Amino acid sequence: MKKLPIIVMLVLILLSFILNIFGLMKLIPIFITSPLLFVSLLILLLYLNDRRRFKGF
């Protein structure tokens, strides 16, 4: 159950990457697909960085 958010985020990154490839082929505007890929990578990195943070005593 803990791996479900990571799997969902990886699928989101894969879909964003495919959309970015379509953007590079000029099928979809690149100014829409590039921020989408950036935001999906950012969300994954923030989630992975925040999981094991020491909250204090």
Q: At what angle do helices 30-50 and 4-24 cross, to 10 degrees?
A: 160
Q: What ranges do the domains of the chain cover?
A: 6-50
DSSP 1-57: -TTHHHHHHHHHHHHHHHHHHHHHTTSS-HHHHHHHHHHHHHHHHHHHHHTT-----
Kindly give the parts of the chain with pLDDT less than 70.
1
The CA-atom distances, in angstroms, between 23 and each of 20, 51, 55 are 5, 33, 41
Rounded Cα gap, residues 28 and 16, in angstroms: 12
pTM above 0.85, yes or no: no
